[in-house]
A and B are shown apart, each in its own frame.
Chain A
């Protein structure tokens, strides 16, 4: 069975500090991978997606970047956090295009 693991579960960070969030998928080779973000009271928005190692497409510009260094790993990062980056970050995977993504547990980020 496929599993998806996100880390950390929660973060409290200062404005201007760097951030790195991670996601690992086990039990599925070459999954499509996604990052989503939900501001408090807001809508879940897709930030990035990747269909293969080393290739990442940006969907929404939020001064964040994503990388896929390995087939089963997806990293979300920034060198300088903004207050507006606070929210809930979800990693997801799917077996192919337009298949229903399956989500990790999420990371709650508070930027102070």
Chain B
């Protein structure tokens, strides 16, 4: 079946430093899955951060970027300069066949002032 592997556990970054959260996927149900990053801020629900549905394209939102790399089967999340308000749990996900969304385990981002 489909699977998503992302940077596990916690990532701690100092404010204004750069961030990368790795995400790789395996899509057996569909050749070109749609790829997503979701975020859950403390005390809030799960929100869509960005999505990319075409291989080779880049999605961006709130200063975050992710590029759909089909050759590497990757969709890493990056930000050039993080802020304290970026502290949250980030989930990589893919949309495969049969209207199914497969998530990674989530990465908790902690920003150090």
Q: Do A and B come from one complex?
A: yes
* Chain A residues within an 8 Å CB radius of B46: 90, 103, 106
Residues of B within 8 A of A49 (CB): 99-100
Q: Give min CB distance, B10 to chain A, whole Å.
A: 13
Range for the number of chain A residues in contact with chain B? 20 to 34
Chain B residue nearest to A43 (CB atoms) is: B105
Decide: B104 and A43 in contact? CB cutoff 8 A: yes
Q: Which residues of A contact B55 (CB under 8 A)?
A: none
With an 8 A cutoff between CB atoms, is B81 at the interface?
Answer: no
Q: Does A98 interact with chain B (Cβ within 8 Å)?
A: yes
A to B contact number (C-beta, < 8 Å): 44
B100, closest chain A residue (CB): A46
Beta-carbon contact of B91 and A100 below 8 Å: no
B12 at the interface (CB under 8 A from A): no
CA separation between A40 and B9, bound complex, in Å? 13
- 16 A–B contacts, CB within 8 A, in A order: A32-B99, A34-B101, A43-B104, A43-B105, A44-B93, A44-B103, A46-B102, A49-B99, A49-B100, A57-B98, A59-B100, A90-B45, A98-B34, A98-B53, A98-B99, A106-B45
Known: A100-B95, A103-B45. 5 other contacts (CB 8 A): A43-B106, A90-B46, A100-B48, A101-B101, A106-B46
Identify the A interface with B (CB < 8 A). 32, 34, 36, 42-46, 49, 51, 57, 59, 90, 97-98, 100-106
